[in-house]
Structure 1
Amino acid sequence: MASLDTTTAPAAQTGTASKRARGQTAMDFKSAATGVSAKAMRNELNAMIQGIDDPDFKKAFEAEMQSFFILFNRYLAERAKGQKIDWDKIQPPSPEQVVPYSDLPESTNKGELLNKLAVLKLNGGLGTTMGCVGPKSIIEVREGMTFLDLSVRQIEHLNSAHNVNVPFILMNSFNTDDDTARIIQKYANHRIELMTFNQSRYPRVNKETLLPTPKSAVEDKGAWYPPGHGDLFDAIMNSGLVDKLLASGKEYLFVSNVDNLGAVVDTRILEHMHASGAEFLMEVTDKTKADVKGGTLINYEGNVRLLEIAQVPNDHVEDFKSVRKFKIFNTNNLWINLRAIKRIMENDGMDLEIIVNHKQSDKGEAVIQLETAVGAAIKHFNNAHGINVPRSRFLPVKSCSDLLLITSDLYQLEHGQLRMNPSRMFQSTPVVKLGDHFKKVSAFQKRFKTIPSLLELDHLTVAGDVSFGRAVTLRGTVIIVANDGQRIELPDGTTLENKLVSGHLKLTDH
């Protein structure tokens, strides 16, 4: 009878995952695994495994629970030791640890290198924060096209322009897989090889009892969670895709968030990766006050590491947010050597920093989710370093404020890629802050008859019940505030330049 064990891999599991699990569990977590919490967790997980009849589902579920059990044991061990990062050992990265993009030479053998590349988008998130149902990647963002449509168009153009075959891969979660499978059928006749696989599904843990909240493997989705994009390495190895890509001649993987419209294939970075022999490249860009919570690269005891805000001691959070000390942040655009992934995962695996995410379940109980970040893997790869790229390679859509920017005349669309409008005098992106009335996409669409011209905008703040007519132009700094009970409707053709607009459309110089 197969079951999880604290010192050996499950009997039914073979190959890469079992070798890694056996080695790590025995060496690193033996003491923690003998604890009461570890034993109780092991028993609960085993009970769920034994409740499965289908052999294929049982084997896959058991592999996931083994990986989760390793992560849980690490959490217990670190909690018991009170391990925290030593702030005094943190230094800004050295010049060789972050290379300026401007120093990279132009690519000379684009076709040859592109044929060794695969592109992967992290597609596990939902569009709930923007008021949408289903995967975030199916939100329409420009000219009726979704995030997925734009990505497919980019890869299709790349393949046609260079006569290459760059596969397009989606890492879904159990939240997005079914919807994505239906949607991607429309790309069947496109010049693109499209693959998908699922990241792991881990059980939420009751904060007080440290036991899994689900009692069976098929319990409601709300009892489970996708464990962060650091799960990429376990999930892609378990899927068999790494071996499949290597067998087809692929050597490099370009990974990015599906909602980052600036994350397009760049042959200069690919050429640098090939020429330098780097196994892992992280694209970073200069930090602004809007990015103070973003993870940053640091020099820790001579090694390059990713530091996330969740790892920072409370009394150093303001230091972490400082633009002076930490001048760059991680865009989560990553270039990774596929053979290196296989080598590392088949040996000791990865020891990624655990991010403890506190949540409340649908039943009202306090739960924790143990997650990891994919960028934290930088410490495991040879000659890994950062590339300080232009801000144009970081164009995420996290809110309707971002949506306003990328749907406006600030950008032009070419082969699925957004480029800053050359008519804009300054290449910096304006700061846009839309209030709660614009939080959901449906409300956003109702409040703009057409998207205003933002070509000469520096800063826009909108609060309260405000709507925009057709052909509105916003320039300089514009602040529009409708107080409670008031409504502001900007007429068609309105031009506002350095204005503060309050109730009843009273315009004053700002």
Structure 2
Amino acid sequence: MASNGNNSGLDRARTKMREAGVDELAVETFAHYFRLLEHGETGMVPEESIEPLDMESLADAQVAEADAAEAIGACVVIKLNGGLGTSMGMDRAKSLLCVRRGLSFLDIIARQVLHLRDKYDARLPLIFMNSFRTSEDTMAALARYDELPVEGLPLEFLQNKEPKLLAKTLQPVAWPRDPDLEWCPPGHGDIYTALRSSGLLAQLIAAGYRYAFVSNSDNLGAVPDPQVAGWFATSGAPFAIEAVRRTPSDRKGGHFARRRSDGRIVLRESAQTLEADKEALADLDRHKYTSTNNLWFDLQAMQDLLDARQGILGLPLIRNVKNVDPADPASPEVIQVETAMGAAIEVFDGARTIEVGRDRFVPVKTTNDLLVLRSDIYDLGADFVLDQASDRVPFVDLDSDFYKLVGEFDKRFPEGAPSMRAARSLRVSGDWTFGRGVVLEGDVALDSPSAQRIAPGAVLVGEDTDA
């Protein structure tokens, strides 16, 4: 891959970023990855270069109450909140989506943090990394929580943006019909660049904070738990990630491994896996753990490493090939240069992983996930922490022709989600509207070529039940 034998692609990209007001550190970080791309770097992690990773479990960790309280008192909570939920038909911050009892992701996150502040008499700042598309809506929604801001600290900082590059030439793409589509976020690995360039990293250290807990705003299981904070603080590690056992639904996703060459922990994403290694990627017995994207780091250790590397952490490149207009497969192919924040685990000496329960990993990526979250599978307690009320989380597969977009999904559950505590699975093919108080048991499959309504209070019993 070359850019016509010179740096014109990079020069044009730099100029475009500066003219758009992108921070200079972000420009130089992009330049670092552009050069890797230009020299043929793919970011691939061959199976032969890694070996499986085992790890300790939080369930076995002994954390003293005093250590937990001290750690949470020195912690700041950062939520990644740049996503619009476009895959579900949304055009505003995904975290504004109603989840339970009229509360959005943002409402529940704010109340989780406020509860912990009261319980542990901790400052516990909550700060969102927004995009220019989510900032206004998010800040307006948070304005109702007068007590949420911590004096001297912002409630948000903004992620950076970078130009999409034409796959054939590495030139910044021009798309006059919708210039916004010329830009993309640099992946959530941008958090470290944005924390430093905004001055927030130095600000937090100066204010006496020691640890950061970072997670996605669409994962309500990602509570800044004092036990995990205490484990991290007493471990002495500079960086750690919470992991969960992979399930069949994680076969195509990323996983942890240990690099043979230097023994460091790596996080291999599916986009970094060679086609020949896809079978090994899907082997749940070989690669047992996936990332929750809940991570912890020592603020001072992060600043020291960034200082030593002139502000560029040097995370592994992810070369993401897409169409400039994701909705138009005929539009030009572009490369999005991305990094994953979890990949920072390989740049820190002494980084750790710890296995946590699946209750700390409840991401909502599709309306299938949203239905489970809105159902009675989870209770929401006075601490606003999700409590799994059934032995298992049922598998849900809704017909994407009718349920993929939130607006259409809501029309088909006008009186709320069905009871799913006794369900193993729900597969829906066709257009089905659910009445109030529907109960699902066992493996329920619905299939009809014409629109159907399920009567209020109906009990649908699948073939396999516990009865």
Same fold (TM over 0.5): yes
| Match in the other structure for 1:197 | 157
2:353 aligned with 1:386: yes
CA 1:220 to 1:183, structure 2 compared with 1: closer, same or farther past 3 Å?
farther
Alignment check: 8 A CA contact 2:126 2:149 kept: no
SS at match of 2:300: helix
Paired amino acid for 1:323: L
Task: Return 449-458 or 161-170, whichever deviates more.
Answer: 449-458
2:47 aligned with 1:87: yes
Alignment check: 8 A CA contact 2:359 2:386 kept: no
1:487 and 1:46 map into 2 onto residues whose CA distance is 53
| Match in the other structure for 2:284 | 323
Paired amino acid for 1:408: S
1:222 and 1:228 map into 2 onto residues whose CA distance is 15
Paired residues for 1:428-467 under 5 Å: 428-436=392-400, 437-448=402-413, 449-467=415-433
1:391 and 1:244 map into 2 onto residues whose CA distance is 34
| Match in the other structure for 2:296 | 335
| Match in the other structure for 1:303 | 264
SS at match of 2:462: strand
Q: State the 1:299 CA deviation.
A: 1.1
Q: State the 1:162 CA deviation.
A: 1.3
2:322 and 2:377 map into 1 onto residues whose CA distance is 38
| Match in the other structure for 1:146 | 104
- Mark the runs of 5 or more structure 1 residues left unpaired by the alignment: 1-31, 501-510
- Mark the runs of 5 or more structure 2 residues left unpaired by the alignment: none
2:276 and 2:118 map into 1 onto residues whose CA distance is 53
Paired amino acid for 1:207: A
Q: Which has the larger radius of gyration?
A: 1
Q: 2:314 aligns with which of 351, 369, 377?
A: 351
User: 1:247-270: CA deviations, max 9, x gaps?
Assistant: 111110001111011100122221
Q: 1:253 aligns with which of 189, 192, 212?
A: 212
Alignment check: 8 A CA contact 1:115 1:166 kept: yes
User: 1:318-346: CA deviations, max 9, x gaps?
Assistant: 21011121111111010111111101111
Q: 1:375 aligns with which of 339, 342, 345?
A: 342
1:489 and 1:86 map into 2 onto residues whose CA distance is 50
User: 1:167-203: CA deviations, max 9, x gaps?
Assistant: 0011112222232233332223447565211111101
CA 1:226 to 1:499, structure 2 compared with 1: closer, same or farther past 3 Å?
same
Q: State the 1:205 CA deviation.
A: 0.6
CA 1:160 to 1:73, structure 2 compared with 1: closer, same or farther past 3 Å?
same
2:133 aligned with 1:171: no
Paired amino acid for 1:443: E
Q: State the 1:38 CA deviation.
A: 5.1
1:398 and 1:125 map into 2 onto residues whose CA distance is 11
Alignment check: 8 A CA contact 2:23 2:197 kept: no
Q: Percent identity?
A: 35
Alignment check: 8 A CA contact 1:48 1:215 kept: no
Paired amino acid for 2:256: L
SS at match of 1:213: coil
User: 1:137-156: CA deviations, max 9, x gaps?
Assistant: 11111111111111000001
Paired amino acid for 1:132: M
Paired amino acid for 1:115: G
User: 1:451-476: CA deviations, max 9, x gaps?
Assistant: 21111111111110111112111111
1:48 and 1:88 map into 2 onto residues whose CA distance is 40
Paired residues for 1:74-223 under 5 Å: 74-79=36-41, 84-93=44-53, 95=54, 98-109=55-66, 110-190=68-148, 195-214=155-174, 220-223=179-182
CA 1:117 to 1:475, structure 2 compared with 1: closer, same or farther past 3 Å?
same
Q: State the 1:45 CA deviation.
A: 3.6
Paired residues for 1:248-287 under 5 Å: 248-287=207-246
2:442 and 2:175 map into 1 onto residues whose CA distance is 57
Paired amino acid for 2:160: S
Count of matched residue positions in the alignment of Structure 1 and Structure 2: 449
Q: State the 1:406 CA deviation.
A: 1.1
CA 1:61 to 1:432, structure 2 compared with 1: closer, same or farther past 3 Å?
same
Q: 1:291 aligns with which of 234, 239, 250?
A: 250
| Match in the other structure for 1:8 | none
1:374 and 1:139 map into 2 onto residues whose CA distance is 24
Paired amino acid for 1:446: K
CA 1:214 to 1:173, structure 2 compared with 1: closer, same or farther past 3 Å?
farther
| Match in the other structure for 1:490 | 454
Alignment check: 8 A CA contact 2:131 2:158 kept: yes
Q: 2:29 aligns with which of 67, 76, 79?
A: 67
Alignment check: 8 A CA contact 1:294 1:330 kept: no
Q: State the 1:411 CA deviation.
A: 1.2
Q: State the 1:63 CA deviation.
A: 3.5
Paired amino acid for 2:101: E
Q: C-alpha root-mean-square deviation of aligned residues, in Å?
A: 2.3
SS at match of 1:229: coil
Alignment check: 8 A CA contact 1:37 1:210 kept: no
SS at match of 2:143: helix
CA 1:354 to 1:191, structure 2 compared with 1: closer, same or farther past 3 Å?
closer
| Match in the other structure for 2:12 | 44
Alignment check: 8 A CA contact 2:4 2:169 kept: no
TM-score (norm 2): 0.91
